[in-house]
Amino acid sequence: MKIAIGNDHRGLSLKKKILQKFSHLRNVAFMNVGSDSEERVDYPDYAKQVAQKVSQGECERGILICGSGVGMSIVANKFPHVRASLVWDSKVAALTRQHNDSNILCLSGDLMDEKKAFDIVRTWLETSFEGGRHETRIKKIQAIERELKEKK
């Protein structure tokens, strides 16, 4: 699985720790498109890069990290075929995959310790979409995306 990972300056430390912890996984390849500096940058620039890669199918999933995770999720969800989820615990991480087929995980670099982040990322990577009744809902989301595109 190819995963684009992006961050602003406030997500740098957590991104480095996630890459260090999970880069050894055989079935996961990370594409780092985030800032590698602690100098202030604007989160929309990095959210856009990750969301485009997921939206266009270049990467299967993405991870975004900023101070709260909120800004990244707002930007990412502007892109077609993206279902970005702001996650704060492993239970929610599992639900976003099982029920929403979440393809971008948004995390807080300021409000989350690394152990919790690792549990969330591991759960999100290992959890599959359940399909079934949830597939109907995903198809409704996709229909809304098509309707909005047609109105432009």
Q: Is 59 a catalytic residue?
A: no
pLDDT for residue 152 is more than 80: no
CA atoms within 13 A on the CB side of 101: 17
CA neighbor of 51 nearest in space, from 70, 74, 22: 74
Q: Using one digit for the tens of pLDDT, what is the confidence trace for 21-48?
A: 999 999 999 999 999 999 999 999 999 9
Q: Which of 24, 99, 106, 134 is catalytic?
A: 99
Question: How far is residue 130 from each of residues 11, 100, 133, 138, measured CA to CA in Å?
Answer: 30, 9, 8, 11
Q: Which of 9, 59, 66, 106 is catalytic?
A: 66
Domains of the chain listed by start with CATH number: 2-151 (3.40.1400.10)
Q: Is 66 a catalytic residue?
A: yes
Q: Using one digit for the tens of pLDDT, what is the confidence trace for 77-135?
A: 999 999 999 999 999 999 999 999 999 999 999 999 999 999 999 999 999 999 999 99
